[in-house]
Structure 1
Amino acid sequence: MTDISSHNARLIALRGTLRARGLDGFVVAHTDEHNSEYTPAYAQRLAWLTGFDGSAGMGVVLADKAALYVDGRYTLQVRAQTDARSYVYKDLVSETVAAWIATEAAKGAVIGYDPWLHSEAWVEKTAAALAAVGMRLQATDGNPIDAIWTDQPAAPADPALPYDVAYAGESSEAKRQRLAAGLDAEAAVITALDSIAWLLNIRGTDVHCTPLVVAFAILHADARVDLYMDPAKVTAALRDHLGNAVSLAPKTAFEDGLKAFGGKRVLVDASGASSAVISALTDSGATVVRGKDPCTLPKACKNPVELEGTRQAHVRDGAAVSRFLAWLAREAPKGQLDEILAAEQLHDFRRETGVLKDLSFDTISGAGPNGAIVHYRATPETNRPIQTGELYLVDSGAQYLDGTTDITRTVGIGAVGAEEKDRFTRVLKGHIAIATARFPKGTSGAQLDTLARMPLWQVGLNYGHGTGHGVGCYLGVHEGPQRIAASGVVPLEPGMIVSNEPGYYKTGGYGIRIENLVVVEPTHGTRDEIETYGFETITLAPIDINLVERDLLTQDEADWLNSYHTRVRETLTPLVDRDTAHWLETATQAI
């Protein structure tokens, strides 16, 4: 872990570079040129500069001050990882960088940005806001941080790997033909790494915990694809897999490839593509058709092969998680465990499946007050003992060839207080409300989000993150366009996988989250007059019944929990050792 003084030295160096370029400030993006949530090491410029390594954020550096923008998940983490004397902290959702710059920079200031790391909409909105106060937003030629990051990692060069149709459920050729037939343009530019991986049935190791390949792609209306990636990543097996309809070129040739579309209509997802992509097309004389990435919705609606594979992955993963929870129940009362040791042990149980490819994200292992940090990651400096009388929250997931998992369990270590049990039970009630929801076709996640919050709202409580996010199939653990949140406006459709994870967090005290993954499925009733959907829960592991206040549950809620635990026990017992099976019997007993 780099110390604060090193990060301050980097801030000073950046300011020197900005002065040399005639810039009065620079906006530091969190993402890469693909608008990825999790980025390859070479693109982690915000983390390198500031020390903040959350999955969302933005920085602004002026000559004598700087600001860091994070969302509600990271309000505690950003303060723990960065120097409050160097940065002011702002809310990424409700506050804009332009508003802060307008009040803190001098009139006439020139503020730089990397056009490969910001969307067209962001550039237009920010430029207009700055122009209104006599300032100017200016695209940089190259990223100024790269000029001072002397040991910046190289772009990943590991080979891209074919992903067998036995797991994908549909050939790349069939996907390309299907999507090309629906294009209202002569080509579509695809910049999202998970879309490229899904469309071409390829996977890789370029991104931490996510099996992606760094590349750009252009899908033509005749189903041909131009794939731009580092030639070092291309093997004979990959060439055979891709076939003659996919042409290969170096990633560095992508911008020139865009310029070849003069006079043609080209579809671009402006919400994900960078402003540099749109500028290259526009400057070439192409007509930019702004629309949705054609891969996004088909990728989200899993086919039967993907769904069966992910169910099997969750059974396998549930057995590993249950082994961990049984181990935790035996070992934690002895007082010798800490957050890092527990996370490593959980990783070991998953490795022992023999088919683990990777974790799907860094395990969140939070004891006591650390559990209140929503996206906490234990470090040697923050590592806390797992102590009797406290709650322990573990949010983890795995990557298997047949599916991606994500599960959170909160357990009590010994006896905990009445307040913790009350909050846990209210979170559980919200979880059950989502799990049992039945809703009309066309319903969005935003319409369901309140169901999970109501038990907390009734006593003046809430949580600061969405209730659910989409999940890929051996792809990203966070996947759009579906989500259960106030911003989740996309209708839920059969085959979509989404998390169900309400929570509650008491700063300085404890954190609670209960997370299962669910699949949207059609439901049928004898009196139905409309088409309705519901959820199939695919995550299997016990929920801590010792934290449940039975009197707070309705009979229907208790019946759901008992039925879920019966399924957990019957499915997992044949897959675990005798000690875990004995623990499962107790952990899943009816309440």
Structure 2
Amino acid sequence: MTIAERVDALRSLMNEKEIHAYIISSSDPHMSEYVPERWTSRQWISGFTGSAGTVVVTANKAGLWTDSRYFLQAEKELSGSGIELFKMGTENTPSPYQWLTTELDVDANIGFDGTCFSVAETRNLKNSLGDLGIHIVEEYDLINEIWKDRPSLPKGDIFDHDIKYSGKTRYAKLTKIRKKMAELDCNYHFVGSMDDVAWIFNLRGSDVDYNPLALAYALIEKEKATIYLNEEKVSDALVSNLLEDEIEIADYQRIFADLEEIPGSSNVLLDVNRTNLSAFNSISANIIERENPSQLFKSTKNDVEIEGMKNAMRKDGIALTHFYYWLEENLGQTKITEFTVMEKLKEFRAQQEDFKGESFGTICGYKGNGAQPHYHTTAESNLEIEKDGILLIDSGGQYLDGTTDITRTIPLGNLSEEQKIDYTLVLKGMMQLSMAVFPVGTRGCNIDALARMDLWKNLRNYGHGTGHGVGCFMNVHEGPQSIRQELKDQAVLKGMITSNEPALYRPGQYGIRHENLILCKEAGSSEFGDYLEFDTITLCHFETKGIIVELLTREERYWLNNYHQKVYDTLSLHLDEKHKAWLREKTKTI
């Protein structure tokens, strides 16, 4: 079926069930960013392959809403589909729900799959369209009825994440969560998000690309806990280990029936942003709405996790040194494309101990392709890389002891003055955030401007956030903290690991982004209070030939030289002589 035929088939079903608008989100029943193939419904109906977006279909119109990371990609992928692109965040662009107010009549029926829509998003929809007197129809997964070869549920193994990596036992984590439940007078805690289940119970899986997770829900009570998953995927030994901590397993689909059986006099703790509507509607007990306690607990890494993350960075740095050496030696000697780069990066990482896969799909954007923040290489867009222009590579690895995420921008030839200025200004922003010292209680939005200040002074900017949390052998995008302009009432805390990735994009020409991971740690105390700072834990050189040294302050040059010395001292111990000599040259003092 073509995209147009799929949309027509959906409209026929909508007409049959008297649904006037149908919404297809990018989510799955666990409100995930990366979803198992079975739930790539939005991609299937639209052809748009980006990780974030919403499709809305009415009787005679269809639209896709996505953010600035995907504007260029979406324009290409939607071409000829009949689906209109709405660029979220741009002037005069309505939200999908605002758009529906102009497209629907009073008392319209709006449908979606209730297992793939969060409680919070449903409320947002109702509030936005309240004056229309809309009716929500959430029981139909219409995509399932027309997607004839839809993938089945994934069947990857589930395995224990050893305490030598996790640093804390399941029992200790459950004790901490139950303490929070007691504070809120809750008898039950429903956990709908896969990463929270994985962290609480020290479990990992392979049901989702890039994220080592398994499809699972959990229901935690005062004395026991139940994990709902595919029981065939759990070994007898793991079942026994879980039972020792009063943790039972049950069939994945049984969660809804068990939620219905919770006594009405009980209090159930759940996160409306991470709970699907169908699960929420199954509960007749009193609901206490709070962020999952595991979100904050998970984000503040313990000492074992911090050491594991640093060890993962060391291994990643070795792999990247080998890769960039290979790229420099072979560029111009053999054909290298964006796909080649992606394959070689994975090959070098796979040589490292405990490598379990990539932490996201590598973004390798040469020249104009690099101007798309979340560019995805296709057979049509795959460019051959030459000794000219700018190459942006954003990649990461999953290791048993940690998760990495790094971006480097590589000048492959002589840069223009404008390119060098852009390159330097973005690097200055990254260094300014790296050197930040701030009082305890500071939010990410309070320090985001540090990464943008030099860009702003030169009338430049970027449209995405500066930093996201990163998990420990977990999701590469993790909350609850972030560093971005939008207000989020979550302080940056000791033990949090966050990305630091300012950027600049010139559409059709090039993109520049520099990214390291930074660990929040204590900076000291004074009569004015307690202070925090960042420790950069990523280990990879920057290409200094893109820098205009005169634009750097003395403090920035000192930081960069110290960082390069740290990179060399740490990685050289694990390199042969040719790679060591090459890295010494790359990290020499400027």
* 1:397 Cα deviation after fit: 0.2
Moved more, 149-158 or 323-332: 323-332
1:408 aligned partner: 407
* 1:577 Cα deviation after fit: 3.0
* Equivalent AA in structure 2 for residue 520 of structure 1: C
Number of residue pairs aligned between Structure 1 and Structure 2: 581
State how far apart, in whole Å, the 2-side matches of 1:84 and 1:163 are: 46
State how far apart, in whole Å, the 2-side matches of 1:582 and 1:280 are: 63
Q: Which residues in structure 2 correspond to 1:364-379 (within 5 Å)?
A: 364-379=363-378
Q: Is 2:553 the partner of 1:558?
A: no
Identity of aligned residues (%): 35
Q: Which residues in structure 2 correspond to 1:380-391 (within 5 Å)?
A: 380-391=379-390
Contact 1:230 1:251 in 2 (8 A): yes
* Equivalent AA in structure 2 for residue 170 of structure 1: K
Moved more, 421-430 or 258-267: 258-267
Q: Which residues in structure 2 correspond to 1:153-552 (within 5 Å)?
A: 153-183=151-181, 184=184, 185-222=186-223, 224-244=224-244, 245-261=246-262, 262-281=264-283, 284=284, 286-334=285-333, 336-487=335-486, 488-524=488-524, 529-552=528-551
* Equivalent AA in structure 2 for residue 17 of structure 1: L
List per-residue Cα deviations over 1:543-584 (Å, max 9, x = no partner): 110000001100110110001001111111121233322211
State how far apart, in whole Å, the 1-side matches of 2:462 and 2:67 are: 13
Contact 1:333 1:413 in 2 (8 A): no
List per-residue Cα deviations over 1:45-72 (Å, max 9, x = no partner): 0011111121211110111110101011
State how far apart, in whole Å, the 1-side matches of 2:492 and 2:452 are: 19
* 1:366 Cα deviation after fit: 0.6
* 1:355 Cα deviation after fit: 2.4
State how far apart, in whole Å, the 2-side matches of 1:85 and 1:243 are: 52
List per-residue Cα deviations over 1:406-458 (Å, max 9, x = no partner): 00000100212111110010001100011000000000111010100111111
State how far apart, in whole Å, the 2-side matches of 1:304 and 1:402 are: 12
State how far apart, in whole Å, the 1-side matches of 2:120 and 2:357 are: 35
List per-residue Cα deviations over 1:370-408 (Å, max 9, x = no partner): 000101111111101112220000000000000000000
* 1:240 Cα deviation after fit: 2.1
Residue 383 of structure 1: SS of its match in structure 2?
coil
State how far apart, in whole Å, the 1-side matches of 2:81 and 2:161 are: 48
List per-residue Cα deviations over 1:55-109 (Å, max 9, x = no partner): 2111101111101010111111111212355122224457422211121234443
Contact 1:335 1:386 in 2 (8 A): no
2:75 aligned partner: 79
Contact 1:29 1:59 in 2 (8 A): yes
* Equivalent AA in structure 1 for residue 514 of structure 2: I
* Equivalent AA in structure 1 for residue 364 of structure 2: S
* Equivalent AA in structure 2 for residue 153 of structure 1: P
Contact 2:267 2:287 in 1 (8 A): yes
State how far apart, in whole Å, the 2-side matches of 1:504 and 1:567 are: 27
State how far apart, in whole Å, the 1-side matches of 2:104 and 2:155 are: 41
Contact 2:111 2:140 in 1 (8 A): no
Residue 499 of structure 1: SS of its match in structure 2?
strand
State how far apart, in whole Å, the 2-side matches of 1:443 and 1:207 are: 34
State how far apart, in whole Å, the 2-side matches of 1:160 and 1:389 are: 46
List per-residue Cα deviations over 1:447-472 (Å, max 9, x = no partner): 01010011111111100111000000
State how far apart, in whole Å, the 2-side matches of 1:210 and 1:241 are: 24
CA distance 1:499–1:128, change in 2 (3 Å): closer
State how far apart, in whole Å, the 1-side matches of 2:135 and 2:432 are: 47
State how far apart, in whole Å, the 1-side matches of 2:321 and 2:266 are: 55
Contact 1:158 1:232 in 2 (8 A): no
Contact 1:130 1:137 in 2 (8 A): no
2:575 aligned partner: 576
State how far apart, in whole Å, the 2-side matches of 1:107 and 1:298 are: 45
* Equivalent AA in structure 1 for residue 161 of structure 2: Y
List per-residue Cα deviations over 1:103-152 (Å, max 9, x = no partner): 12344432212222222232233234334135x23223231001111111
* 1:274 Cα deviation after fit: 1.7
* 1:335 Cα deviation after fit: 6.5
Equivalent of 1:46, from 42, 48, 53? Answer: 42
> Normalising by the residue count of structure 1, what TM-score does the alignment of the two structures yield?
0.96
State how far apart, in whole Å, the 2-side matches of 1:301 and 1:165 are: 16
State how far apart, in whole Å, the 1-side matches of 2:577 and 2:335 are: 24
Q: Is 2:74 the partner of 1:63?
A: no
Equivalent of 1:11, from 7, 15, 37? Answer: 7
Contact 2:435 2:534 in 1 (8 A): yes
Contact 1:435 1:518 in 2 (8 A): yes
* 1:171 Cα deviation after fit: 0.4
Residue 313 of structure 2: SS of its match in structure 1?
helix
Moved more, 373-382 or 394-403: 373-382
State how far apart, in whole Å, the 1-side matches of 2:199 and 2:144 are: 30
Contact 2:107 2:135 in 1 (8 A): no
Residue 391 of structure 2: SS of its match in structure 1?
strand
State how far apart, in whole Å, the 2-side matches of 1:546 and 1:16 are: 59
State how far apart, in whole Å, the 2-side matches of 1:92 and 1:248 are: 42
State how far apart, in whole Å, the 2-side matches of 1:199 and 1:127 are: 33
* Equivalent AA in structure 1 for residue 31 of structure 2: N
Contact 1:181 1:221 in 2 (8 A): no
* 1:500 Cα deviation after fit: 0.5
CA distance 1:83–1:137, change in 2 (3 Å): farther
